Chains A and B, each alone.
Chain A
Amino acid sequence: MSDAPFTSEALHGPAPGFWNNPGLRRFRRHKLAVFGTITIVLLTLACVFGPMLLPYTDTFIDIRSRFAAPFSGPHILGTDPLGRDILARLLMAGRISLAVGFSAMIIAMVIGIVVGMVAGFYEGAVGAALMRFVDAMLCFPSIFLLLAISALISPSVPSIVMLIAMTSWMEVARVVEAQIRSLKTREFAQAAISFGASSGRIMLRELLPNAVAPIVVAATLNVAHAILAESYISFLGFGIQPPTPSWGNMLESAQSYLTSAPWLAIIPGAAITLAVTSFNFIGDGLRDALDPKL
């Protein structure tokens, strides 16, 4: 990390033409990342505005038209076992799943950054204790941790968000800790320390902005992870409660209709895969763009 792409001057000073930023140019050249970005934007737009354009709501039960196959009638993607429109549910579920993904990511990032920063800055006993805790949390295979904690909480949207955040901040903490530790020894940080700036100020104003590249990459991958985690929790029966749809619980309730109505499982599964792949593409692109050395 001898030549980090952003110095604090570059971030705080006037931007030298947004579109000509070398990082962004590299990102734009990354075709998959562009594809991912476009997909996520479209998906988000569809989930936000789509439900308003549909003739059905996600919770309208019409038991007579249950199990309609996709592309066979008024319901474009067919209906579920209660006769609800799958497209409407898919889009509403997208709102929930994407929201869960983003909120879980933000919380995980905050926890991870704070823990990583403190551990990296103070090193010594505090740092060691914090990092051993991180190591301990990483010792649990993530599913084990998810399962054990999900039994503790009632399965509402906020609690699922917390649960995912609680089990996915450790990697971020590790990345940030390593960054901060190495940045601390650099001249600008040493200079700030010698001027007698407060620790908080040094961490937030000097060190953190310089660690932003790996953090952004980690954040993107974290959204992907969170969306997947939501589906795993639902699959194992601890997910978001009906009638609120999420991609995960749509999949969960489709399992027993795999032979008679396979589209119930295929559609939300494809949505999850598409969204997660897109976020991974973006993460990959960002990594290339922000830090060619990584």
Chain B
Amino acid sequence: MIGFLIRRLGQSLLLLFIVSMIGFAILHLAPGGPLSQFAAGGDMTQADLDRIAEQLGLNRPLPLQYAEWLWRMLSGDWGRSYRDQQPVLHVIASHLGATFELMLTSTLLAMVIGAWVGILGAIRRYSLFDAFATVGAMVALSIPTFWFGLVVIYVFSVGLGWLPAGNRYTVDDGSLLNQLHHLIGPCIVLALVSTAVWSRYMRSSMLDVINQDYIRTARAKGVPERQILLRHALRNALLPMITITGLQIPTLLSGALVTETVFTWPGMGRLFLDSISYRDYPVVMGILMFSAVLVLLGSLIADLLYGVADPRISGSH
């Protein structure tokens, strides 16, 4: 177990190193730079732009810039944003809350609905409900998230006027109710895909369990069906779902980025988009590393939990 953990951690660090290198190279080799936004305005001369590029150290050789970035990173300094001069970790932290709020609520929603649909689909296999759930899940996986978001805004905000068209809260109204009201739209949109994923996995996991010997034995013994499902089947069927949650993190991050854009949600996704369009290199790198850590951590925890829950797994990996 300990050996496995150490090996996995070592692998993860190696991965982070590769990720940082790829990310850094892509970012800095891309045309354009952090000064473009000022050149567009026309009130700063070329001499000004050249001077600032020099001051930011953008003219130095790329490997040198990377080495310096890595060295600082290792010593805990993530750099400062080119835009507001704040430390990168501070910038990320100030956007994290909004994204976590969105991810957490939508994951909970997806879990509850997805599990329910999946279980019901498994119990009533090949029923009309199961057929609808299957088709529904496939369609949900196929809808472009941003388009679904636009449709939700068009129907519920523009048409019916039930939901606000964006933002996290109304200015000068920080009440919980107000925040929840704003959360509904983006939460539904972000939960759509995860619900579909959850229901599919839950269904197949449940089917696996239902066909196991001990369930059949329990049935033969005359244990009430309800008790069989809740006591035995569900508990075992939920086990593999732990893994899914961990592995869903990258999908959720991508989904959050798009959803935040559509609903003008002030979270990490917006921050990333803004930072990349202004070429705020330190912040983009920071977010990349942060999400990579999150992804690795997600899969590591998934593996560990799965290993703890099912001792047969841990050694074999």
Contact = CB atoms under 8 A, between A and B. Distances in A.
A265 B155 CA distance: 13
B92 to A, nearest CB: 14
A146 to B, nearest CB: 9
A134 to B, nearest CB: 10
A259 B29 CA distance: 40
B217 interface: no
Contacts of A139: 15-16, 19, 250, 292, 295-296
Interface size class of A (residues with CB under 8 A): 35 or more
Contacts of B158: 258-259
A67 to B, nearest CB: 16
B27 to A, nearest CB: 6
B144 to A, nearest CB: 5
A236 B1 CA distance: 44
A277 B151 contact: no
A148 to B, nearest CB: 5
B41 interface: no
B257 interface: yes
Contacts, number: 122
B224 interface: no
Nearest to B253: A141
Contact of A276 (B16, B29, B30, B142): B142
Interface in B7-23: 11, 14-16, 18-19, 22-23
A136 B19 contact: yes
Interface in A165-212: none
Contact of A258 (B141, B154, B254): B154
B146 interface: yes
A53 interface: no
A269 B147 contact: yes
- Looking at chain A's contact residues, the main secondary structure is helix
Nearest to A146: B254
Nearest to B27: A148
A231 B144 contact: yes
A142 B288 CA distance: 11
A259 B153 CA distance: 10
B279 to A, nearest CB: 8
B150 A265 contact: yes
Contacts of B16: 139
Given A141-B250, A148-B30, A273 B135 contact: no
Given A132-B11, A140-B19, A259-B154, A148 B276 contact: yes
B276 A147 contact: yes
Contacts of B134: 32
B138 A284 contact: yes
B143 A273 contact: yes
Nearest to A262: B154
Interface in A261-286: 262, 265-266, 269, 272-273, 276-277, 279-281, 284
Nearest to B200: A284
Contacts of A269: 143-144, 147, 150-151
A151 interface: yes
29 contacts: A133-B18, A136-B15, A136-B19, A138-B250, A138-B295, A139-B15, A139-B19, A140-B291, A141-B250, A141-B291, A142-B250, A143-B253, A144-B272, A144-B287, A149-B26, A231-B144, A231-B147, A235-B144, A258-B154, A258-B158, A259-B154, A259-B158, A262-B154, A265-B147, A269-B150, A272-B144, A273-B144, A277-B138, A280-B141
5 closest residue pairs by CB, A with B: A276-B142, A269-B147, A143-B254, A136-B18, A277-B142
